[in-house]
Amino acid sequence: MKPNLRYGYITFYKKDNKKIKISYISILLLIIAMFMLIPILENTIFNLIDYSKIDNRIKISDIKVKIEASNVKPELYVEEVYQPIDNGKKYVALTFDDGPGKYTKELVDLLIKNNVKASFFMVGQNIKNYKSSVKYAYDNGMEICNHSQNHKNLKNLSKEELEYEINSVDDMLEEITGQKPKYYRSPGGNQNDTVLSTIQKPCILWNVDTRDWESRDTEKIISKTLKEVDDGDIILMHEIYKTTLDAVEPIIIKLKEKGYNFVTVTELYKIKGIPLENGKIYYGM
């Protein structure tokens, strides 16, 4: 069989020397026809398989429909999915109240040095004097929360006064960080039904009280914390005392040795798979 290229044909010679002429055009048409057949064949095979019976196959179109049906922004939808993580690790949230103040930047540096994220509950009266410290904490991954404008006992306030105490701090923090805080902590942990129903945020309290404001004793703050802490706890400290500042690093080092990981309040509840609701109190686990 000898192909013989000549004019618009390829000439094949059979054994008995008979010629078979095939034009270039017919070869070209044959190739085009083959390419057209491929998607049709592919579709036929695809339709023969019932994908609905294969559990782990997720169609992108299904996800899109779910996000649209949930009637929220896709990024919020993803962020608000709480999935408990059971990896055998222990988690704890350090919280610092009553700042910002003269130690805030130093404290943030200490936390950065130890690769720790913490949550800060800030008072409006102080925020106006330490705006750059708030920004510094926020920019370094600390969670900034609302601890009211004037640190009053919220139980004694009217609805209007309560709204002022929280909303004015929300506005101040939003101006500095670009974000309104997600949580508040009532001063002294004072709460009642009016407070809870008026302030449309989750109220974050604590279950390990270092009593740092009372003892003002670094060693006592360290030993009380280490004695009481457990997985899922929220630790209460006040960032306005030097004695507290001095206790922070030893506490972090000792708890890390015991296998604890330090996270923000948001991270703690996400890890534990508990969604936070407005008007409810959370003490840690």
Nearer to Zn ion among residue 91 and residue 121 (C-beta):
121
Q: Minimal distance in Å, beta carbon 125 to Zn ion?
A: 11
Q: Minimal distance in Å, beta carbon 93 to Zn ion?
A: 16
97 belongs to the catalytic site: yes
**In the complex, residue closest to Zn ion by CB:** 97
Size of interface with Zn ion, in residues (CB under 5 A) = 3
Nearer to Zn ion among residue 188 and residue 259 (C-beta):
188
Is residue 165 involved in binding Zn ion (CB under 5 A)? no
Name the pairing type of β-strands 119-122 and 143-146: parallel
Q: Quick one: which segment of 66-74, 97-105, 215-223, 276-284 binds Zn ion (CB under 5 A)? A: 97-105
From residue 97, alpha-carbon distances to 71, 74, 122, 159, 216 in Å are 36, 33, 6, 24, 15
From residue 35, alpha-carbon distances to 26, 27, 47 in Å are 15, 13, 20
List 235's β-bridge partners, or say none: 94, 208
Return the residue of 94, 97, 107, 172 that touches Zn ion, per CB under 5 A. Answer: 97
Nearer to Zn ion among residue 165 and residue 260 (C-beta):
165
- If one counts every other C-beta atom within 10 angstroms of the C-beta of residue 172, the result is 19
Name the pairing type of β-strands 281-282 and 143-146: unpaired
d(CA 166, CA 150): 10
Nearest to 120 by CA among 174, 184, 170: 184
Q: Minimal distance in Å, beta carbon 112 to Zn ion?
A: 24
Catalytic residue, from 50, 212, 238, 246: name it.
Answer: 238
Return the residue of 92, 98, 221, 252 that touches Zn ion, per CB under 5 A. Answer: 98
Q: Minimal distance in Å, beta carbon 216 to Zn ion?
A: 15
d(CA 104, CA 268): 22
d(CA 251, CA 231): 15
Binding mask 175-204 for Zn ion (x = CB under 5 A): ------------x-----------------
Residue 163 CB-density burial (10 A; 0-12 exposed, 13-18 middle, 19+ buried)? middle
> Looking at residue 7, what DSSP letter applies?
T
Nearer to Zn ion among residue 233 and residue 239 (C-beta):
239
Nearest to 94 by CA among 243, 202, 191, 209: 209
Helix (H, G, I), strand (E, B) or coil at 11: strand
Nearer to Zn ion among residue 235 and residue 255 (C-beta):
235
Catalytic residue, from 16, 97, 98, 170: name it.
Answer: 97
Q: Quick one: which segment of 28-36, 84-92, 93-101, 125-133 binds Zn ion (CB under 5 A)? A: 93-101
Q: Minimal distance in Å, beta carbon 185 to Zn ion?
A: 7
Nearer to Zn ion among residue 189 and residue 279 (C-beta):
189
147 belongs to the catalytic site: no
So which residues are the catalytic ones?
97, 238
Contact set with Zn ion (CB under 5 A): 97-98, 187
